Amino acid sequence: MTQEQKIIHYLNRYGTITQRDALNLGIYRLASRISDMRRDGIPIKSEPKEVTNADGSKSRIAVYSYDRR
């Protein structure tokens, strides 16, 4: 199964995917794979989400999902 197929399967099952989810799938460059998928015509959107790190600081991550517009 290709990395793109893993992402599609994950999105179909869970609705969204983040870099942390992708790491569990063995995908280390999620943003690159998303870019490739968009280039191939797969409608994927990204939404920023603020998360709290273990040390209490804040970071922003991307949450990817199908663009159903």
Contact 28, 7 (CB under 8 A): no
Query: Is the pLDDT score of 54 beyond 80?
Result: yes
Q: Any idea which residue has 């869970």 for tokens? A: 14
Structural domain range at position 50:
3-66
**Nearest residue to 69 (alpha-carbon basis) of 45, 38, 35:** 45
Q: What is the pTM of this model?
A: 0.90
What is the pLDDT confidence band of residue 69, given thresholds at 50, 70 and 90?
confident
Report the number of distinct structural domains present in the chain.
Answer: 1
Report long-range pairs for 20-28 (Cβ below 8 Å, ≥24 apart).
Answer: 27/3
Q: C-alpha distances in angstroms, 52 versus 9, 14, 58, 59, 69?
A: 28, 22, 5, 6, 30
pLDDT per position as a tens digit, 37-52: 999 999 999 999 999 9
Mean pLDDT calculated for residue range 58-68: 95
